[in-house]
Each structure stands twice: as structure tokens, then as C-alpha cells.
Structure 1
Amino acid sequence: MQQWLVGIDLGGTTIKMAFVTTSGDIVHKWEIPTNISNRGEHIVADIARSLDETLVKLNATKEQLLAIGIGAPGPVQEETGTLYEAINLGWTNYPLKQQLEAATMLPVAVDNDANIAALGEMWKGAGGGARHLLFVTLGTGVGGGVISNGTIVRGTNGAGGELGHMTMVVDGGAPCNCGKTGCLETIASATGIVRITNEKLAADEQPSVLRGGEVTAKAVFDAAKAGDPLALQIVDEVTHYLGLALANAANVTNPEKIVIGGGVSKAGDILVEHVTTHFRRFAFPRVAAGAEIALATLGNDAGVIGGAWLAKALAGA
């Protein structure tokens, strides 16, 4: 009887789930909508029911499942698996580990969603098994994960690796959802890129293909690839701050790999080339010499594979 790990990536819109072998190969993956009504009270029951239904569909049994690893959008108390706060789920001090273990009768490990994506990329993705790795995900916001000697750096209250909330603009920065101003998230996220672009378009009449169309992060990078001067200026500004942030983080952690994921990473080589240029300018030379910057390769599977890594460690598999 083949035994599987369960990897779960809990998001505000969908819950991605997978059965994964102990060597990290996905056997079956699926997703269900996230029901956030009544402050997310149905989420755990929905997960447990979906696991049972999928086992039936695959002619498998609960005995084949070793453990569950789940990533959630917020800081997590490592020992208890309590989610301090997940605004988009309606949870505050929510005992996710306790609730999910009771609902599934399986051991559960809980971590932040960016952390499990980092573990997934380390195990089966662009990290290539690197034991020292920085992961940054550029989407609607900016998330991060720091892996030191194969272990996630969680910190004293679960907020380790919050690269997106490094202050990059000390005075006069844009407000961030975290309550601060000038965070990396306000610059290098898709939202931040759109904000910067709109500000520059409004500031002068510089010709650009970005005028008159829908402004998106993809549009900015596409225009930069085509040589649009304003788009190139924006890309250089964004990657300047991102390269600086990654250099400062790398100077502390001395990683072998720096992996960039999230929707913005689909810009590809132009993003890596610009970030690398700025990173090498700001990083301690020996740190820069040891680090390779690469694009994430697992896409939406990073979270479920990283969740399976957590489950593997919990089960001792």
C-alpha cells in the first residue's frame, strides 16, 4: 500500500490540495473554493470533507495518509500551529492545527504560505535542494521565506522572513497594508508596479506605449522588453529596490539560491537580469559570489509540495 503525504495551500479564494509521495511527486491534486463566510468557520470542515471524497474517488483509504502539511496566509505560532491573524479568512488566534487534526484524525503541521512555497522550491523546484535559500514571491503583495541549513526561519512569533515588509523608502513612502509606509511590498508587488507606473504617467507627458491602455505589471514588463523608455525606467526602479532588499537579506543569511516566484516573476529573464545587477551592487562581495538568482519553477504547485515537505518531517517519512 503506497503511503501519501497531504499538502494544502490555503488561500483567500481557493484551497489547493494534493496527495504527494514521500519523494515529492504529486499523485493527485485538486482545489476547492475557500468559504470565508462567518469568519471562515466552514474552512476546516470543507477541507476534511474534500479529503474524504477524494480518497473515495481514487479508491484509496485514510490509512494511506501519513500527515498533513498546510500553509496559511499569516504568521503562525510554530509549536501550537495557531494562526495569529489571517485577515482575508476572518481568523484571529485561530487554532488551525488543533481544529484540522480533530476534523481529519491526522497529524497536522502548519506554517505560513510563503514559507511552504519556499520549502517546495527548495525540495523539488528552482532551489535544487539548496540548504540555504531566500524565497520571495511577487504577487498582489510581496511574501518571503528564509531557509537556513534546510530549516525555515520562523522567528520568535512566526513573522520571520517577511521580506515584503522591509522598509525601502524611509520618508514619504506609500502606505502598506501592514500599517507601515515604504515597504518593499508597495514597490515590487504587482500592485506597487501599477501605482508607480500611474504616478509616472501622470507626472509628465513622456511618450510611452503604456499610455491609453490598461496598466498592469505584465504590460510594464512587456513594454520594457520592447524598449519603451518609460517602462525601462520603471523596471529599473522596481528592481533597484528589490535587488537592495535581497542583498540586505542575503548579507545576513548568505544563501546559495535566491528564488523569485509569484505572478510578477513571469516577466522572466528581464526581471532576473535587472535584479541581479542591483543585487551584486549592494551585496557583500563574498555573499554575491555564493548566490544564484533564479525564477521559481513550481508555479501553483509550490505550496502543496512545501506542505508535503512539512508533513514528511512531521511523519518522519
Structure 2
Amino acid sequence: MDEKWLVGADIGGTTIKMAFINQNGEIIYKWEIPTNINEKGKNIPKEMAKSIDQTLSELGQEKQKLIGIGVGAPGPVNLGNGSIDVAVNLGWNNFPLKDLLEMGTSLPVIVDNDANAAAIGEMWKGAGQGSKDLLCITLGTGVGGGIISNGQIVHGINGAGGEIGHITSLVEDGAPCNCGKTGCIETIASATGIVRLAIEELSFTETPSRLRDFYNEHQILSSELVFEVANEGDELANRVIGKVTLYLGLALAHLANGLNPEKIIIGGGVSKAGDALLVPLKEQLTRFAFPRVLQGVELANATLGNDAGIMGGAWLVKKRLLNRNGNTPLYL
């Protein structure tokens, strides 16, 4: 029997990643297209549909080869109708993504938040493989998160479950966050937050630092550079990393104490720092988490990289559509 494929898609502010994936979680073919944010992103579903058709044609396959499309999208998702409440970077506001993509492809579509999709991908084929209770945190331009309990993503009452980036870490005098609050962990542990902390240290202290040379010469600072000079023993950079891991470790400990997960997976661009991030983060997690919680949890780097979202999207199709049709789902 000719096995049908799952379609996974991950909509980002710059590119849309898509893939055809078999039911065992093996990527058959993956590609990406630019994210067209003109006209408030209204053409994104149409361009995704066109790209899927073109790619099928290039591979010599018919539309009947596909079971459905699972999409990870930025912003809160209305799980009832698959619309996006708001996605500022795309220009979406109450955007009917599911309906428009189904209209353009004639395929069933499942939509979830992009961080949730990444968490699901890591559970299925990444660092969380074999685990049904895990936290997945993505540290990039912002801080995203997905919570999985007994193999199911935690959406909450209105789809806002897993908004880990908006845990308040500084009650007073915190930096403004894009969500409208202040002091969120996103303002500290994201790539932009790390740079902000570094600039504060450079502006309000006289500590010698290689970062100061870049700053004084108006060169671009980055979170990668902060970790690089921290690894060289730079005092100021290590002070910044200390703040980041202190507040992130505290937030993760609170979550772990409430959820008792088997794994905490750290993904996103900042996670590429490896042990320079994980070692001090584990120290702070150990400091704040309940001892019995610590006995059961493993802190690890994500392994799927940019494929996490498309893998999660494919899993949504496998789980929900195949189960609906009477086939055996991945998790019971």
C-alpha cells in the first residue's frame, strides 16, 4: 500500500518552513518560502497552498498523497476555529488561518501555537522522545514555551497555556515586554534580553570587558558574543549570564515544582551556547526546585533545531486526523 504523507508547516516572521513527512516521522522533503507580510499577511495561506501544489508536482505526486496539514503559527490560537487572535509580526488580527488554508488546499488543517508545535516535535522525534511529561522552552528573539502532560499539549481554557515567556521575574523595575507587562522572563532570557542586560552593565559600570570595545565602537552586540566572551572568563559577560540563568532557573523551578516533568528541553538560538548556558542554569534549577522534583527531571538541549515546528505540525495531523479516521495514533 502506498503510504500517505503528513504535511508540517512552521510560519515564522521571515520564512515559512514546510515538509512532507511520513507516518514514522521521517522527513521525505522539506523546503521554505519567504513570509509575505504585505497587506497584513493576507496572502500567506494562498502562497502556502501554491507552494504545496508546486512541490507535489516537482516530486511527481498527486494531492491524494497528503493526509492533512499541521501548522505552527505565532500568537494565541483559537482552538475552536483555528484562527490567530493576534500575530503582530505578521499583521494578523483574528486571522482565519485554518479556513483560508483549507480553502486553498482542499485538505484538512490543524493549527496550534508555534512554540507548542516545537514542543510536540521534540517529544515525538527530538530530545523529549519517549517522554510524555516535559517542558520545552525556546529562547530566541522572544521566549516561547510548550507544556506537555501525559503526551498532551496543555492549552488551558482559552489557548494561552504554556506562555512561559510571560512569567513575571522582576516584580519591580522590570523592562517593558511586548505583551504590555514589565519584568517578564522574555525581557531577560531572550537574545534581545541578554543584549539589553549587557548594555546596562556597560552603561552603568566601569568593569573592563571585551564587550566594551564592541559597544564603544558602535558594533552590534549579540547574545552569541556575550556567551563567547563569557567563555573566555570575561567578568562582565559572566555577570550577565549569571542574571539570565538566575531568573530563568527560578522560573523553570516554579514550573517544575507544579508539573513534575521528566524533561526540561531548552531550544531556540540562545540554546546554541550549550554548556555555557546549561551548566549555570542547572545550578539555579537545583537551587530552587523541590528535591523530589529534581530526582525525576533532566535538563537538556533541544535536538531538532529548525525542524521542531514542522515535526510538531506533522504529529498533530497524525494524532488527530488518523485517530479520527480510526487508524492507530502515536499515543493513546
Normalising by the smaller structure, the TM-score range is: over 0.9
Distance 2:103 2:31 in 1: 22
Match of 1:240 in 2: 246
Distance 2:132 2:305 in 1: 20
Match of 2:177 in 1: 176
Match of 2:10 in 1: 9
- Counterpart of 1:282 (choices 284, 288, 300) is 288
1:202-242 deviation per Cα after TM superposition (whole angstroms, max 9, x unaligned)? 11211111111132111111111111111111111100001
Give unpaired runs (5+ residues) of structure 2.
215-219, 328-332
Match of 2:205 in 1: 204
Q: Look up the SS of the partner of 1:56 in the other structure.
A: helix
Distance 1:191 1:304 in 2: 25
Distance 1:244 1:204 in 2: 25
Q: Look up the SS of the partner of 1:134 in the other structure.
A: strand
Match of 1:114 in 2: 115
1:95-144 deviation per Cα after TM superposition (whole angstroms, max 9, x unaligned)? 21111111111111100000000000111001122100100000010000
Match of 1:308 in 2: 314
State the AA in 1 paired with 2:123: M
Q: 8 Å contact 1:75–1:158 — kept in the other structure?
A: yes
State the AA in 1 paired with 2:189: A
Q: 8 Å contact 2:115–2:145 — kept in the other structure?
A: yes
Distance 2:85 2:110 in 1: 15
Distance 1:114 1:60 in 2: 31
State the AA in 2 paired with 1:237: K
Q: Look up the SS of the partner of 1:79 in the other structure.
A: coil
1:77-156 to structure 2, matched below 5 A, reads: 77-156=78-157
Match of 1:28 in 2: 29
Q: Look up the SS of the partner of 2:211 in the other structure.
A: coil
Distance 1:42 1:87 in 2: 16
Compute the displacement of 1:291 (Å): 0.7
Q: Look up the SS of the partner of 2:213 in the other structure.
A: coil
Q: 8 Å contact 1:67–1:314 — kept in the other structure?
A: no
Compute the displacement of 1:79 (Å): 2.2
- Counterpart of 2:256 (choices 217, 226, 250) is 250
Q: Look up the SS of the partner of 1:211 in the other structure.
A: helix
Moved more, 163-172 or 31-40: 31-40
Compute the displacement of 1:2 (Å): 2.7
Give unpaired runs (5+ residues) of structure 1.
none
Distance 1:106 1:40 in 2: 21
Confirm or deny that 1:259 pairs with 2:254: no
Q: Look up the SS of the partner of 2:210 in the other structure.
A: coil
Q: 8 Å contact 2:46–2:100 — kept in the other structure?
A: no
Moved more, 219-228 or 46-55: 219-228
Match of 2:159 in 1: 158
1:13-46 deviation per Cα after TM superposition (whole angstroms, max 9, x unaligned)? 1100000011111000000011111111111110
Distance 2:271 2:88 in 1: 25
Match of 2:217 in 1: none
Match of 2:64 in 1: 63
Confirm or deny that 1:47 pairs with 2:53: no
Q: Look up the SS of the partner of 1:80 in the other structure.
A: coil
Distance 1:4 1:100 in 2: 17
Distance 2:92 2:241 in 1: 36
Q: Look up the SS of the partner of 1:101 in the other structure.
A: helix
Q: Look up the SS of the partner of 1:196 in the other structure.
A: helix
1:34-79 deviation per Cα after TM superposition (whole angstroms, max 9, x unaligned)? 1111111111110000000000000111111011100100011112
Aligned residues between the structures: 317
Compute the displacement of 1:170 (Å): 0.1
Distance 1:98 1:68 in 2: 12
Match of 1:217 in 2: 223
Match of 1:75 in 2: 76
Match of 2:330 in 1: none
Distance 2:91 2:205 in 1: 42
Q: 8 Å contact 2:8–2:21 — kept in the other structure?
A: yes
Q: 8 Å contact 1:224–1:231 — kept in the other structure?
A: yes
Q: 8 Å contact 2:263–2:297 — kept in the other structure?
A: yes
Superposed structure 1 runs of 4+ greater than 3 Å apart = none
Distance 2:89 2:159 in 1: 18
